[in-house]
Amino acid sequence: MSNANKDGSPGAAVMDIGSRLELFVDHYLIDRLQGAELKLHSPTSREVALQFDKPWEGTSSTYVSMCKDAGRYLVYYRGSEFRDRIALHTHTCCAVSEDGIHWVRPSLGICEFGGSADNNIIWRDPEGERETCGVVSHNFMAFLDGNPNVPEAERYKALASGPIVGLASADGFHWKRVQAEPILFPYAKCNRKGDYISLAFWDAVQRRYVAYVRGWRRLKSTQTQCEEDPDKPHTGYRQVMYATSPDFVHWSEPRFIDLGETPLEHFYTSAATPYFRAPHIYVAFPKRFLPERKRVPEHPSPGVSDAVFLSSRDGVHWNRTFMEAFVRPGRDRENWTQRSMMMAQGVLPTATDEISVYWIEHYCHPTCRLRRGTLRTDGFVSVNAGYAGGELITKPLRFEGDELIINYATSAAGSVRVEVQDEDGRPLPGHTLAESAELYGDEIEQVVSWEKGSDVSHAVGAAIRLRFAMKDADLYSIRFRRDRTLGGF
């Protein structure tokens, strides 16, 4: 990563990708596109995952985080009811699933509501502690801690409140603070009182905890920190700040993420997470908030939202190739009111060829709910070529493995052919475009072959380029793997 440019591209350096999965969410691998372009794919809207219709939930249920732990999925969210901007109740709830599609609320017996503990509430703020400890249940964002050295009693972690407190749990249901005092203070110059938006996760590649929190940034500021009065209204844009920690307790000073030269927009949340199939790549789905717009005149509050897509390879410099929305409010009128379309943190595998993302709909309506959407596996972005055809040539790279696997889709008339070149662009004998099998269809894992077979092991250790000739086709990801029929494992 030390040789990378700000957008994550390493210039002319040879990249060692080993046998890891690489997604075409950015230009990291791409040297040249001709007649092809990067294309953003929006999720397909599926069923309502959770209707927030229990007495302890309500019209302002939101701030969702999701994770998969062995054979179960968990979703954490705020159960709350706001009327006239006053919270009638606020607490943290957890639902579980065996497949990420069908969700149930376990009766946990942890917290009482309405005189009964027959509910799925996992946290309620102790009476009298709101001023000293903050409102933990306002924004309780949990994750499964992948740190191999994590104690069994702290397998789950969470950030909440503001200033931000840390929490831990052994089972995901029973929680305690990691210490009495807050662990993160991003507010001195860059936030306002009560701005609690935060999340965290364990980065298995860089072996550290990463947090993303919200700060306010001036339009023309190039400072790492903002300088305006945090209590003065309308002094900037809601933006995302980044901090790291070796132990989840001691954190670096938060700083703003780098979005390059793209215009500032309000990012209400980030929903940042490592992509589970390629953890060296972060993806994020910020809720883009336009506070001055009002689409539904009779609604009491202004503001409309959608979700956008970002990616990063170091957590600080984020690629924003796509200014367009990743998820739109659509034709549903009740998604065109304030603070709907907030994406959940977490991307879950829900089938062998499918990943799921989730978002809040109908915020501050009686029908407030969590919606599931699906993408093909690795399917956030593709290199796309139309019927006239196009080409992709990668930067120089080194790999490990015996065969090349691609995730691709074509039309019935479309195709993909692949050529392996040396570092200077000369085709390798036996792996030219003319000798490539013509691939057409729709596969998550397709072995690329040539007239003499699929073996590319003779090029291991050498700097190569890949040339893809495409027609009416999408290429989502690539990786090299060892072929068991060639003596691999």
CB 380 within 8 A of CB 317: no
- Torsion of Cα atoms, 294 then 299 then 300 then 306, to 10°: -50
Q: What are the tokens at 299?
A: 């609604």
DSSP state for residue 3 in the 8-state scheme: T
Which pTM value belongs to this model? 0.93
- What pLDDT does 3 receive? 38
- What pLDDT does 215 receive? 87
Residue 411 class from Cβ within 10 Å (0-12 exposed, 13-18 middle, 19+ buried)? middle
Distance CA 387, CA 413 (A): 8
Of 383, 324, 409, 379, which Cα lies nearest the Cα of 34? 383
Could you tell me whether strands 354-361 and 44-51 are parallel, antiparallel, or unpaired per DSSP bridges?
unpaired
Residue 413 makes CB contacts below 8 A (sequence gap 6+) with 387, 471, 472
- What pLDDT does 86 receive? 73
Distance CA 191, CA 215 (A): 5
DSSP state for residue 396 in the 8-state scheme: P
Give 102-150 as a DSSP string.
Answer: SEE-----SS-BTTB--S-EEE-PPTT-HHHH--GGGS-EEEE---TT-
Question: Hey, is 153 helix, strand or coil?
Answer: helix
Strand partners of residue 391: 34, 469
Rg (CA), the chain: 24
**pLDDT tens series, the chain, 489 aa:** 333 343 444 445 899 999 999 999 999 999 999 999 999 999 999 999 999 999 999 999 999 999 999 999 999 999 999 877 677 899 999 999 999 999 999 999 999 999 999 999 999 988 756 555 568 998 999 999 999 999 999 999 999 987 899 999 999 999 999 999 999 876 555 666 556 689 999 999 999 999 999 988 875 544 444 444 444 544 689 999 999 999 999 999 999 999 999 999 999 999 999 999 999 999 999 999 999 999 999 999 999 999 999 999 999 999 999 999 999 999 999 999 999 999 999 999 999 999 999 999 999 999 999 999 999 999 999 999 999 999 999 999 999 999 999 999 999 999 999 999 999 999 999 999 999 999 999 999 999 999 999 999 999 999 999 999 999 999 999 999 987 554 432
Strand partners of residue 308: none
Mind listing the domains of the chain with CATH numbers?
Answer: 15-41+381-486 (2.60.120.260), 44-376 (2.115.10.20)
Of 408, 411, 433, which Cα lies nearest the Cα of 420? 433
Residue 222 makes CB contacts below 8 A (sequence gap 6+) with none
Query: What does each C-alpha distance from 204 to 270, 278, 449 come to in angstroms?
Result: 20, 11, 33
- What pLDDT does 470 receive? 98
Of 183, 292, 293, 282, which Cα lies nearest the Cα of 240? 282
- What pLDDT does 488 receive? 37
Distance CA 272, CA 201 (A): 9
Q: What is the rounded end-to-end Cα distance, in angstroms, of the chain?
A: 29
Residue 116: count other Cβ atoms within 10 Å of its Cβ: 11
Query: What does each C-alpha distance from 130 to 136, 173, 304 come to in angstroms?
Result: 8, 21, 30
- What pLDDT does 126 receive? 81
